[in-house]
Amino acid sequence: MSTGYIYDPIFLQHTVAGHVESPERLQAIMSRLEQDGILSNLKQISFIPAKEENLRLVHTQEMIQRVRSAASKGPSWLDMDTYVSPDSYRVALAAVGGGMELVSQIASGVITNGIALLRPPGHHATANRSMGFCLFNNIALAARYLQKHHQLEKIAIIDWDVHHGNGTQEIFYQDPSVFYMSTHLYPHYPGTGGKLEIGEGKGCSTTLNFPLGHGCTRDQYIKYFDQGLEIIKKFHPDFILISAGFDSHADDPLGGLGLYEEDFGLLTTKICEVAKETCQDRVASFLEGGYNLEKLTASVVHHINALLEYRP
């Protein structure tokens, strides 16, 4: 069994000059993984772009049309943070398709676990709105794909990005089959993720937020993270997805939560231990934030090395 990864140069074609969510993020990651000899230990997964019908697993037709139309008109902005370039719709379909293929390979037992090194990121995208650098919600779409095409009933999503994944939370807020846990800086963009946001209706108690303040120490963070994992164990998921935002690093320009690169390896190991106990080691991570290129690449190395250690 092996650890897989998704990457394609198409992910570099979503770009606008001067934006912090840039192709250089992925270029730096791939360069570091090759330099450190890690790529040779991973299995690259081939994939095809998602179709529009795949997007409708989560998103409204109006939202899909809005992104496609904006991209067709050339460089433009969907909000003050979120841009589209002429290739962005095509790139976003590729990102969604890559994520779906990664989780499909894991669910089918072809690989043990893996990472989707893709962009644009996804966890801020709601069912009907692109926002926060995110066009479509890659991880939410992967969760729905697992449920529809692999008949996996219960999915856990763990989000360690410094920003709360408001889109993912909203999509599953009334759904008892998807458990969403987030550790994030609060108050901070996008302003959601308070302790009292626990889900509603049938989804009550399947949303778990740890809003952490400025000055949160590494030890405090890990204490809360461990508490969350104990609750996820009781949920007993069939698959664990990670919104892997590395802007929780203490030196990230857009956030910082007192974590350092080696801590992402520790968090990954903890998640893999839960996955071994509950869901046959099935773990897939999706790249979200991380904007200090040196710290981003080092953190990804620790994260992937931890995934590699958990191959049976």
Taking residues 78-86, what's their average pLDDT? 97
Give the pLDDT band of residue 74 (cuts 50, 70, 90): confident
Taking residues 197-207, what's their average pLDDT? 98
Owner of token pair 């949920």? 235
For residue 69, is pLDDT > 90? yes
For residue 249, is pLDDT > 80? yes
Specify the pTM.
Answer: 0.98
Query: Quick one: DSSP state of residue 201?
Result: G
Kindly give, in sequence order, each residue whose CB lies less than 8 Å from that of residue 191, ignoring residues fewer than 6 positions away.
none
Structure tokens at 150: 């692999």
For residue 162, is pLDDT > 70? yes
| Euclidean distance between CA atoms 305 and 312, whole angstroms | 14
Residues 257-271 pLDDT 10s = 999 999 999 999 999
For residue 225, is pLDDT > 90? yes
For residue 37, is pLDDT > 90? yes
| Euclidean distance between CA atoms 132 and 148, whole angstroms | 27
- Pure H helices in the chain: 23-35, 52-55, 61-72, 88-107, 138-149, 166-172, 218-235, 261-278, 293-309
Owner of token pair 């902005």? 77
Q: How far apart are the first and last CA of the chain?
A: 7
| Euclidean distance between CA atoms 111 and 19, whole angstroms | 35
Taking residues 151-180, what's their average pLDDT? 98
Owner of token pair 């959601």? 192
Domain borders along the chain are 3-309
Based on the number of CB atoms within 10 Å of its own CB, is 46 exposed (0-12), middle (13-18) or buried (19 or more)?
exposed
Whether residue 211 contacts residue 257, with contact meaning beta carbons closer than 8 Å, is answered with no
Instruction: Write down the pLDDT at residue 10.
Output: 98
For residue 311, is pLDDT > 70? no
CATH fit for domain 3-309, picks 3.40.800.20, 3.40.50.11540, 3.40.50.10440, 3.40.50.2300: 3.40.800.20
Instruction: Write down the pLDDT at residue 76.
Output: 94
Instruction: Write down the pLDDT at residue 284.
Output: 98
For residue 312, is pLDDT > 70? no
Other Cβ atoms within 10 Å of 43 Cβ, number = 15
Taking residues 201-219, what's their average pLDDT? 96
Taking residues 198-223, what's their average pLDDT? 96
Active site members: 124
